[in-house]
Chains A and B, each alone.
Chain A
Amino acid sequence: MNELFLEFKGVAIGYGRKVVLSGINFSISKGDFLGIVGPNGTGKTTLLKNILGVLKPLEGEIVSYESFRIGYVPQVQSLDPIFPLTVSEIVRMTASVKINDEKFYAILKELSLFEFKDKLFRNLSGGFRQRVLELLVLDEPTNDLDIPSETSIMELIQHLNREHRIAIVMVTHVLDLLINTAYEIGFLSAGKLFIDSRDEILKEDKLKEIYGTKVRIAEVDGKKMVVT
């Protein structure tokens, strides 16, 4: 049995009195990879803020079972590039909350990213930030990236999940990014979150139900992709 980190029990979330999503039930355990897809404005970031504890649920309960180390990679646009901070300064800044630099550097080295540590955050293409954690929450991590960078970020995320068993919750509006990586996929639609295993979600009738139009999954060089 995997170590349970977080559990949403009949949760409704939103801002003020406005409910954005309701009836949310799911849990996150060590080594999970949950991808969440949905069009803009459906509450993806609001959901992440509830996972992070920035927002409190309007209804229901979010149970946190352990004091696990959680990391958040916000959308690049939400970080202000006028701060002259280097990658390692950002790590040190967060190190006051039990983040292990040594392990972080080891992983950076392993992934040939160590050279970035003294680079200014604003000079990184697309802005890359990563830490050693048990649960990593990512908000549109590949926005504004070119295809090679997108591939390497997705490989990095997958590596952290598969090799280091870091639980991942990743929000994106691109289903393609998740169908080869996430174990579970959640769809946001009409104020509800539908979560199922990747294989269930990728069935054609399920995709049609979600998208309202015929969507197929094709396979090229062993990689699945969405075809409309």
Chain B
Amino acid sequence: MIKIFEMFQIPFMQRALVLSMVTGAFLSFLGVYVVLRRIVFVGICLSQISACGFAFGFLIGFDSQITSFAFVLLGILFFSFIKRMERLPQESITGMIYALFAALSLLFVAKSAGAEASILNILSGDILTITEKQVYMTAGVIFLAAFFHYLFYRKFLFISFDPETAVSTGINVKLYEFLFYFILGTVISFAIRSAGVLLTFGYLAAPASLALLFRERMKDVFLFAVLTGLSATLIGLVLSFFWDLPSGTTIVALMGIAWFAGYIFKR
């Protein structure tokens, strides 16, 4: 116990803890919408597009947070206005976009002389090397996003559950749909820097999937998902510190095991 206390006396561990708790909690909250709307693969796709934007920034020597955000913005424009195609199912379009941006990320890394190691760190998540400025920026963005979700809770739920009725009652579904994706994409592009593609995706998919197995009321599902994300983050950070494991991967593995156990239990 004392050792855990000592661990969080270290400045970089404090930053990692604060940032991963805030990011993990909010991504777990957003994950409920992502899972319910059946757009889990859009989640991983946006994470990969964001990571690709980072790599592109390094390649051209530009601020990679900005390029990452720009890439995600294009991604959300694509996903929020994507029309149903008769010839192709949506998941195959999402799959192709993912494959394309994963490949582009690696190509950009391969051509970024000297920066290869640092980009690879970012792509896989590097929560222990984040700066104080990044903590404040990411936390600021997430608090703003959470405020919008609080403000438009009913509307986001309504357009997710029954967009046709929402239109008929005068809600500007296209606008709120864009806002929903805009918040999702922005949060992902900030989370990627510290959490990486895998952990960001893990937060979007696992806590919500676990919560939906065990809770039957909307607000309980949100609460359960957030608590799952927070517990996995805390336990994962402690385990990764003492056993010298990569922190993001440890958190994802914990969430995955918890989900799998829950799934077996509930079957």
Q: Are B168 and A85 in contact (CB under 8 A)?
A: no
The distance in angstroms between the C-alpha atoms of A86 and B221, with both chains bound, is 13
- B205 CB → nearest A CB, Å: 14
Task: Say whether B158 faces chain A, with CB atoms less than 8 Å apart.
Answer: yes
How would you classify the secondary structure of chain A's contact residues: helix, strand, loop or mixed? mixed
How far, in angstroms, from A78 to B169 measured CA to CA in the complex? 17
Beta-carbon contact of A72 and B154 below 8 Å: no
Determine whether the beta carbon of A85 is less than 8 Å from that of B154. no
**Distance in Å: Cβ of B108 to nearest Cβ of chain A:** 37
Query: Judging by beta carbons under 8 Å apart, are B154 and A80 in contact?
Result: no
Q: Within the complex, which residue of B161, B164, B170, B171 is in contact with A83, where a contact is CB–CB below 8 Å?
A: B161
Q: Which of B90-98, B186-194, B209-217 contacts A (4 or more CB under 8 A)?
A: B209-217
Q: How far is the CA of A86 from the CA of B168 in the complex (A)?
A: 21
- Chain A residues near B169 (CB, 8 Å)? 70-71, 94, 97
Contact with B along A132-162 (1 / 0, CB 8 A): 0000010000000000000000000000000
Nearest chain-A residue to B216 (Cβ)?
Answer: A84
Given contacts A80-B36, A84-B217, contact A53 B167 (CB under 8 A): yes
In the bound complex, residues from chain B placing their C-beta under 8 Å from that of A96 are 154-155, 158
For B154, list chain A residues within 8 Å (CB): 92-93, 96
Q: Which residues of A contact B160 (CB under 8 A)?
A: 83
Looking at chain B's contact residues, the main secondary structure is helix
Q: Are A72 and B165 closer than 8 Å at their CB atoms?
A: yes
Give B244 Cβ to nearest chain A Cβ, in Å: 40
Residues of chain B touching chain A, judged by Cβ–Cβ distance below 8 Å, are 36, 38, 154-155, 157-158, 160-162, 164-165, 167-171, 212, 215-218, 221
CB-based contact A89/B168 at 8 Å:
no
Additional 5 contacts, C-beta under 8 A, given A80-B161, A85-B157, A85-B218: A52-B167, A71-B165, A72-B164, A83-B161, A93-B157
Tell me if A74 and B161 are in contact (CB < 8 A). no
**A53 & B157 in contact (Cβ 8 Å cutoff):** no
Query: Known interface pairs A74-B165, A78-B164, A83-B36. Does A97 touch B157 (Cβ–Cβ under 8 Å)?
Result: no
Contact partners of A227 in chain B: CB under 8 A:
none
- Say yes or no: B158 contacts A94, CB within 8 Å: yes
Query: A79 interface residue, CB < 8 Å from B?
Result: yes
- The complex places the Cα of A166 from the Cα of B218 at a distance, in Å, of 31
Q: Which residues of B contact A53 (CB under 8 A)?
A: 167-168
Q: Collect the chain B residues with CB atoms within 8 Å of residue A80's CB.
A: 36, 38, 161
Contact (Cβ within 8 A) B36 A82: yes
The residue that A94 contacts in the complex, of B165, B212, B216, with Cβ under 8 A, is B165
> Smallest Cβ distance from B5 to chain A, in angstroms?
39
CA–CA, A72 and B38, complex, Å? 23
A190 touches B (CB below 8 Å)? no
Take A85-B218, A89-B218, A96-B154 as given contacts and tell me if A79 and B168 are in contact as well, using a CB distance cutoff of 8 Å.
Answer: no
**Known contacts being A70-B169, A83-B36, A93-B154, is A54 close to B217, with CB within 8 Å?**
no
Are B164's CB and A52's CB within 8 A? yes
Is A4 located at the chain interface by the 8 A CB criterion? no
Offer 18 A-B interface pairs, CB within 8 angstroms, sorted by A: A52-B167, A53-B167, A71-B165, A72-B165, A78-B164, A80-B161, A83-B160, A83-B218, A84-B212, A84-B215, A84-B217, A84-B218, A85-B161, A85-B218, A90-B161, A92-B154, A94-B158, A94-B169
